[in-house]
Amino acid sequence: MSEARLKPNRFFACFFYMVQPIRNQNRGEMMMKMKKKMYTKAALVIVTGMLAASNIWPSAAHVKAAPSAAFKDTIPAWAEDSVKTVVDAGIMNGYPDGTFKPNDPITRAELLKVMALTFYLTVAPPSAGQLWYKPYEAALTNAKIYMSGDWPTDLTKPATRNEMAITAVRGSQAAYRGQRLTAAEFMFRAVNAGLLSRNGTSAEAIDTAGTTTRAQVAVLVTRLLKLQDGETLPVDQGASTAAEVAWHHHNMITMFGQDDLVSLPYKVNVNSKFDVSIEQMLVLDPGDSQGYYSQYLKDTEDFFLGGQYAQPNAGYLFAFKLKGISKVASNEYVDVLGVFYMFVESLQQGTFYPSDKYMFNDGKVIDRGGLYRNSTNFKLSKVGAEGYDYYYVFVDKNFIQSQIKKYGALPIHMERFAKQMDKNTQFYLTGVKDREWQQ
């Protein structure tokens, strides 16, 4: 696949960045002057880099591509504005045959070039015999946006959404420049910043390992340009939860901006016979029809607060996935839900029952995916045997907000079942605490 299709249009790049401040005169003369300086500088950097590297393009690259408004192929409606923006800015271009090929994958090498132009990096002239993308790779490396080992070594292969997330996060957020995070955290940071969103209709469809298309890259670049322009991007909360859970098994950052949880899974020693591990903790908003796991919440009205039926949008559902782990081999059955509970200092809390199709009474205690309840107790049949179930707590939204206001964050206070609560029965999943028993 030729790099020719990404040849920058120098005239459009210069024109776009030079005239942009004129469109924003209503923001005030001072803002216009500041933006004019910024865009003028950006245009000079981009044009300088492109002129220096212009001799790397084969002759086909010098055929003028079709303007964004005249592509012969159909651009998806969700990408039309973004494609126009990136083409007019000279960051991406169409093919000489008048097409844009929005559904074609973009290679890692091509993505390096797009990112270098998006972040206004100065690109040095290539050395004799050097691969065309090497100057862009070097520019991103010098800026600590791209690091050795970030991607597989074959840069001619299609880029994945995870690989796109790495450069997008490092380039747009200075705190992550030069930082090596897991691929899962980079994906979460990208989604939580509004740079990426779901890749389908359900919140869970973030498709981290999927290849990325030219249209998707155009959308990402447009969002990056908006961030550089000081805009705040909307965040797909459902997709942010999906990415955060894939990273560290909870979604407290997405829901409450809170990152003080213990590391999950978190094992609780019960007795000499078995332990219970909190595998993940979800905070779900049943009132969000597009939210994470919304398909499991919309089929039931069995939400309770204070012993009464409640509207789904009245509270947050805390869903704890629990795993029992046997330490012995016996015929004894135990209930993994009968070990501890979430302490809520309010009557405005209750529970939730999934619809019948997610309630299982087949004698199995397996992890079924999604939200569910296993009606069978866990048999300690052998050492290391495992049994799964979900524990649900439905808590009034107003109470949650009052707790956050009172303590600065939301305490997740757990209590072991016992005749009397004391310092030996309580434990916290968060750094912030509400009350600690003295005895």
- Clarify whether residues 291 and 393 are in a common domain: yes
Whole-number pLDDT of residue 11: 33
Q: Are 141 and 147 in contact, with CB atoms under 8 Å apart?
A: yes
Using the 3D structure, point to which of 191, 226, 245 is the last residue of a domain: 245
Q: Is residue 433 part of a domain?
A: no
| 209 band by pLDDT with thresholds 50, 70 and 90 | confident
| Alpha-helix residue ranges (DSSP H) falling in 249-286 | 252-256
Q: Tell me the backbone φ, ψ of residue 239, rounded to 5 degrees.
A: -70, -35
- Residue 437 resides in a domain: no
Q: Reduce the DSSP state of residue 379 to 3 states and report it.
A: strand
Q: For the chain, how far is it from start to end, CA to CA, in angstroms?
A: 70
Structurally, the chain folds into a number of domains equal to 2
One domain, residues 8 and 136: yes
Residues 176 and 257 in one domain: no
Which of 198, 220, 245 is the endpoint of a domain? 245
Q: Are residues 196 and 297 in the same domain?
A: no
| Residues 201 and 256 occupy one common structural domain | no
Model pLDDT, residue 106: 97
User: Can you tell me the distance from the alpha carbon of 6 to that of 15, in angstroms, rounded to the nearest whole number?
Assistant: 18
Same domain, yes or no: 198 and 297: no
439 lies in some domain = no
Domain C-terminal end among 226, 245, 264: 245
332 in a structural domain: yes
CA dist 154 and 133 (Å) reads 12
Domain range enclosing 326:
250-428
230 and 101 fall within a common domain: yes
- Asked, for residue 435, whether it belongs to a domain, the answer is no
| Interval 32-87: pLDDT, tens | 443 444 344 344 333 333 333 332 222 223 233 445 557 999 999 999 999 999 99
Segment 365-398, tens digit of pLDDT: 999 999 999 999 999 999 999 999 999 999 999 9
Report if residue 410 sits inside a domain: yes
Instruction: Check whether residue 231 and residue 282 sit in a common domain.
Output: no
Query: pTM to 2 decimals?
Result: 0.82
The C-alpha atoms of residue 74 and residue 311 are separated, in whole angstroms, by 44
